[in-house]
Structure 1
Amino acid sequence: MSPTSTTLRRTGTLAALTLAGVLAAAGAASAHVTVHPESYAKGATDGVLSFRVPNEEDTASTTKVQVFLPTDHPVLGVLVTPQAGWTAKVTTTKLKKPVKTDDGTITDAVSEITWTGGRIRHGEFQDFDVAFGQLPDDTGRLSFKTLQTYSDGSVVRWIEEAKAGADEPENPAPALTLTAEGAGAEASNGSGGAAGSDADPAAPSSASSSKDTKDTKESAASDTADDSTARSLGTAGLVVGVLGLIAAGFALARGRNARS
């Protein structure tokens, strides 16, 4: 085999491996369990939350999904949409602090939903839809900690809380942003982006809450933009490096051909 052929083969192999790494990194970044839509208005009524569960394993299927609903800021009137092949078990918990509504005082709420019996195979995902009667109006964010069990017995715990200004955790919990009505939301009742924690206390006043919502929304938007920009620049840099290696290989080959 000639030196030119060897050079080209090595260059092509290195380029392929580098590009495969880029694609793998991009795939891993998007394979989290998530909730859709990403935001609703505080106190929104009669809506649907969809929990999207992708399969991340090459040799095992997802066979069990457990979603834990917050009880300090409970979601009221939860109903589970039937999923073909799956059986849902709904667990309720007595609330430490009853919730007063127009229909009376609520003392119990759903704290966990477990789906079993089905399979999510490699390269597939499943949406699990949950209808609700009313979302809380005293927090800016709800986290739904989730456990994903595979056919080989392994369990992925999607329970980590995202921190403002920090990198996204490895296994983030699905999170729903709750905002004041009229804030330009993507979901029903004028919902929009705001940030908080499902362990946050109720907002002290409407004026203070409005200011806090604006500040935290700007911070969340900035964090998201920074993270997206960093990933894009990293991917672009790797691709440019691949192209540079290929160009260098061809230049070397041409130089040797010219001397021969």
Structure 2
Amino acid sequence: MPVQHTARTTLRAAAAGAGALTAVLALAGPAAAHAEVEADTPQALAENVTLTFVSEAESDSGGFTRVRVVLPEGIAPGDVTLADAPEGWTLTASADGYTVAGPALKTGVDAAYKIKVRQLPDTAQLVFKTVETYSDGKISRWIELPTDGAEPEEPAPVLTLKPAAPGAAPHTPGPSAGPDSAPGPDSAPATATSQDTPATGNPPAQEQAAAHDDGPSTVLVAGSAAAVLTALGGGWWLARRRTTRTD
């Protein structure tokens, strides 16, 4: 009896432990997907540094189609070139960063790519706010920073740098992207609440509409001009009629 009791107790403890582990993994599963960044030379003022970005898939019905990144201060869009990416994906510079996009990846496949940066800035940390788009329309925004020591739910990729090497000096920043490289409709967070959140660009369709739409002010001016011309014409006709009667 003591042996059987001990065996039953051990089995119950093991089952309870397995159940607790399963519950922990189930709770941690949805929050596991995130975006990460690594560098082959994580040092301030390092030159020709290759950064590797990995966006973990979290959609069950679509694959990645594009990844939008807002570059941190000190790295200009002109200082970035694409080093490696999924087949068919290309890099397009924007006003404050870049977009890597192409044919949709298979569902469940992580989006991994590499860029080469001309020179890293002289700072301790670099934050790369990232917006991911899937073929099923899902958008994930990894843009949050820790506040008051609390870990955010959607943390932005952060790269920690070592101090600059002795004698290292910053180069002149490269050219920025022109106005034609404005962010697209899903380029930035929809819930922009602080200056740390990148500004949202207008969708191309809206930009075209804004460029060609006359707007209510133009219609009002045209209507007012027509009314004035009508009034002047009516006044001239009345004056002409009175003159004819007098004659």
TM range (shorter): 0.5 to 0.7
Q: Which runs of 5+ in 1 are unaligned?
A: 1-9, 94-109, 184-188, 190-198, 200-260
Q: Corresponding residue for 2:112?
A: 127
CA pair 91-182 structure 1, distance change in 2 beyond 3 A: closer
Q: Corresponding residue for 1:51?
A: 53
Q: Corresponding residue for 1:117?
A: 103
Task: Using the TM superposition, give the Cα deviation of residue 177 of structure 1 relative to its aligned residue in structure 2, in angstroms.
Answer: 1.8
Q: Give the share of equivalent positions with the same residue, in percent.
A: 32
Task: Using the TM superposition, give the Cα deviation of residue 132 of structure 1 relative to its aligned residue in structure 2, in angstroms.
Answer: 1.2
Larger-Rg structure: 2
Aligned to 2:103, the other structure's residue is in SS state strand
Separation in 2 of the partners of 1:61 and 1:120?
5
2:97 counterpart letter in structure 1: S
Separation in 2 of the partners of 1:118 and 1:59?
12
Of 121, 139, 157 in structure 2, the residue corresponding to residue 136 of structure 1 is 121
Higher RCO (CA 8 Å, separation ≥ 6 residues): 1
1:127 counterpart letter in structure 2: A
Deviations 1:159-184 (A, max 9, x none): 00124x5121110111112331359x
Q: Which runs of 5+ in 2 are unaligned?
A: 1-11, 169-195, 197-247
1:178 counterpart letter in structure 2: L
Separation in 1 of the partners of 2:19 and 2:135?
30
Q: Corresponding residue for 1:73?
A: 74
Aligned to 1:23, the other structure's residue is in SS state helix
CA pair 41-117 structure 1, distance change in 2 beyond 3 A: same
CA pair 84-61 structure 1, distance change in 2 beyond 3 A: closer
1:159 counterpart letter in structure 2: I
Structure with the larger strand share: 1
Aligned to 2:102, the other structure's residue is in SS state strand
Give matches, 1:31-46, under 5 Å: 31-37=33-39, 40-46=42-48
Coordinate RMSD, CA, aligned = 3.4
Separation in 2 of the partners of 1:180 and 1:125?
31
Separation in 1 of the partners of 2:53 and 2:20?
33
Of 146, 161, 164 in structure 1, the residue corresponding to residue 130 of structure 2 is 146
CA pair 157-182 structure 1, distance change in 2 beyond 3 A: same
CA pair 56-38 structure 1, distance change in 2 beyond 3 A: farther
1:73 counterpart letter in structure 2: G
Separation in 1 of the partners of 2:128 and 2:40?
12
Question: TM-score if structure 1 supplies the norm length?
Answer: 0.51
C-alpha contact (below 8 Å) 2:86/2:112 kept by paired residues: no
Give matches, 1:95-114, under 5 Å: 111-114=97-100
2:33 counterpart letter in structure 1: A
Task: Using the TM superposition, give the Cα deviation of residue 41 of structure 1 relative to its aligned residue in structure 2, in angstroms.
Answer: 1.5
Separation in 1 of the partners of 2:151 and 2:55?
18
Separation in 2 of the partners of 1:78 and 1:24?
39
Separation in 2 of the partners of 1:87 and 1:62?
11
